Amino acid sequence: TSVFQGRSLLAEKDFTRSELEYLIDFSIHLKDLKKRNIPHRYLEGKNIALLFEKTSTRTRAAFTTAAVDLGAHPEYLGANDIQLGKKETTEDTAKVLGSMFDGIEFRGFSQKMVEELAEFSGVPVWNGLTDEWHPTQMIADFMTIKENFGSLENITLVYVGDGRNNMANSLLVTGAILGVNVRICAPEALFPEQEVIDYANKFAAESGAELMITDNVDEGVKGANVLYTDVWVSMGEEDKFEERVNMLQPYQLNMDMINKTGNQDTDNLIVLHCLPAFHDTNTEYGKMVEEQFGVKEMEITDEVFRSKYGRQFEEAENRMHSIKAIMAATLGNLFIPRT
Ligand code: CP
Ligand code: NVA
């Protein structure tokens, strides 16, 4: 058995630098196989449950297509389709699903719930996003960075905006493990929680990553190779709209911020966003925000989104390749030697 066999991916901190690097490289390999139409059916005959308490486009689509390409059967179980959280405990649901499915993806609110699913199901559980972490996104993100720059060495990633959400947490900790310099540039009220900073500092001491948490945009974005942002209002926090719009305007990823990095070529600067992105008002949600708050663009301007720096759609595609790697490594019959 390999070092991955039977393991769950619940939070990045549970994986070593070489394990995360392996998953990134395996994702790049599987992407190449896919592009060349070479079969990679490592999960032939397996059944995968996809539990979604929150909505999703990329994560759901990526798990579904990845499972099918790997030869597995994915079954979508939405919040309103099953008893979990309403009529049944997580423990009971986990035991039942674990007896029928070979692996379980869970997206929802509580990190505790995804951990309980892993504890009681007895099968690998993959965290498709909780309020605290978004680990499958991390493999895609650092894969995209590696594809663009050729390596993860001497890269400075600056995350601007809501510094206290799942994406900020995951980027800070994962970058620290991988030796990528990470800066969180956010208003002080939205700095990451101390527990997350403590994890990150511990890993950075081992990897040599340089970390910075600052509310100063000029200082924060100077020298950035990756400018990263996420929505100002995450799923489940919709009541915080007004507060966030007022607080986060100075942290909008716009051309002025691009100029402040001092980098101009895509050789040394790219823009990432996990998506969905609020860059224009051409959605139902966007119209609501424009009417209520008079704001046309939120965390990223349409100009930057559509600029040569924007790599968010490559990043989105990479969700599929990386989720394949995660599922195949933990559930497939692969031999991955210990390093
Ligand atoms: N990035 C991401 O997780 O997208 P979805 O919410 O659409 O799955
Ligand atoms: N922070 C966002 C990420 C979406 C992929 C949210 O939790 O809604």
pLDDT digits (tens, 9 = 90+) for 274-330: 999 999 878 888 888 889 888 889 999 999 999 999 999 999 999 999 999 999 999
Tell me how far the alpha carbon of residue 105 lies from the centroid of ligand 1, in angstroms. Answer: 13
Q: Is residue 169 domain-shared with residue 284, that is, in the same domain?
A: yes
Buried b (16+ CB within 10 A) or exposed e, 36-45: eeeebebbee
Question: What is the number of the ligand 1 atom nearest to the C-alpha of 61?
Answer: 8
Domain-located, residue 54: yes
User: How many CB atoms lie under 10 A from the CB of residue 2?
Assistant: 16
- Looking at the structure, tell me whether residues 189 and 104 fall in a common domain: no
What is the distance between the alpha carbons of residues 288 and 172, in angstroms, rounded to a whole number?
32
pLDDT tens digits along 175-193: 999 999 999 999 999 999 9
Split into its structural domains, the chain has a count of: 2
Helix, strand, coil shares, percent, the chain, to 5: 45, 15, 40
Q: Are residues 172 and 295 in the same domain?
A: yes
- Strands 47-52 and 73-78 come out as parallel
pLDDT tens digits for range 32-76: 999 999 999 999 999 999 999 999 999 999 999 999 999 999 999
Q: How does DSSP classify residue 77?
A: E
The Cα–Cα gap between 113 and 111 comes to 5
Distance CA 109, CA 132 (A): 8
The answer on 77 and 21 residing in a single domain is yes
Q: Identify whether residues 232 and 283 lie together within a single domain.
A: yes
Query: Of 7, 162, 274, 279, which residue is the catalytic one?
Result: 274
CB contact set of 137 (below 8 Å; sequence gap of 6+): 59, 129, 167, 170, 274, 319
In a domain, 145, yes or no: no
**Which CATH number belongs to the domain containing residue 82 in this structure?**
3.40.50.1370
Q: Which of 114, 137, 166, 237 to mutate to test the pocket of ligand 2 (most atoms within 8 A of CB)?
A: 166
In a domain, 194, yes or no: yes
Same domain, 288 and 172: yes
User: Are residues 197 and 118 part of one domain?
Assistant: no
**Residue 274 is among the residues annotated as catalytic for this protein:** yes
Pairing state of beta strands 156-160 and 226-229? parallel
Specify if 3 maps to a domain: no
- In this structure, the answer to whether residues 42 and 95 fall within a common structural domain is yes
Q: Find the mean pLDDT for residues 87-104.
A: 97
Let me know how many helices (H) and strands (E) the chain has, helices first.
13, 9
Same domain, 104 and 246: no
Q: Which helix (H) or strand (E) holds 284?
A: helix 284-293
State residue 113's pLDDT score: 98
Residues 106 and 17 in one domain: yes
Residue 144 lies in a domain: no
**Is it true that the peptide bond before 337 is cis, omega within 30 degrees of 0?**
no
Residues 164 and 274 in one domain: yes
Instruction: Between 219 and 337, name the one with better pLDDT.
Output: 219
Q: Please write the tens of the pLDDT for every residue from 190-202.
A: 999 999 999 999 9
- Regarding an ipTM greater than 0.90, the answer is yes
Whole-angstrom distance, CA of residue 114 vs CA of residue 131: 11
Can you tell me the mean pLDDT for 201-220?
98
Residue by residue, what is the 3-state secondary structure of 181-208?
Answer: EEEEECCHHHCCCHHHHHHHHHHHHHHC
Domain containing residue 107: 12-133+318-331
Q: Do the domain assignments include residue 67?
A: yes
Give yes or no for residue 144 CB within 6 A of ligand 1: no
Find the 43 Cα to ligand 1 centroid distance in Å: 23
Same domain, 325 and 249: no
